[in-house]
Amino acid sequence: MAIEVKKISDLNEVDVSRLIQESEKEGYRFVSRLASEYEDGTNRFSEQGEALFGAWDGEELVAIGGLNRNTKSKDASAARLQRAYTLPSYRRKGIGSELFNALFVHARGQFNEITTKTESAKADAFYRANGFQFDERSPDITHVYSL
């Protein structure tokens, strides 16, 4: 398995249907929201410093995640990790960590921290394993990664 992580310049040119289908089976709607918000222009990860990355196994997109400016923070140098998802059959193989590393490299020099929010114990463990610290400073944040 040769995974390639790269920036997505146009989500309309990427097949996210399997990610949507699998995430909804698990009860998650944030991948379908990512696609619909991109389509209607609500969020295209196109503001200064923002980016959307994907991980591919050959031609198949197996993971996705993006950074937006954190509009819920008073700190203009804060980013928000959004819509991070890896197909279940690709978990625990380092792919999510590779995706996060690409996001962290992209964010350095543009942001001082990356925040996110989760209610999932599995996501909590994954975030902590990838350098995020648990943080309860606001109801919109559960984890912070300092750059």
Contact of 35 with 20, CB cutoff 8 Å: yes
- In this structure, the strands spanning 78-86 and 113-116 are parallel
Question: pTM for the full model?
Answer: 0.94
Contacts of 125 (CB under 8 A, 6+ apart): none
- The pLDDT value recorded for residue 90 is 97
Domain 3-146 has CATH 3.40.630.30: yes
Instruction: Give the span between the Cα atoms of 141 and 101, in whole angstroms.
Output: 20
Instruction: Using the predicted structure, report yes or no on whether residue 88 has a pLDDT greater than 90.
Output: yes
pLDDT single digits (tens) 26-54? 999 999 999 999 999 999 999 999 999 99
- The pLDDT value recorded for residue 71 is 83
- The pLDDT value recorded for residue 32 is 97
Instruction: Using the predicted structure, report yes or no on whether residue 143 has a pLDDT greater than 90.
Output: yes
Instruction: Give the span between the Cα atoms of 138 and 117, in whole angstroms.
Output: 10
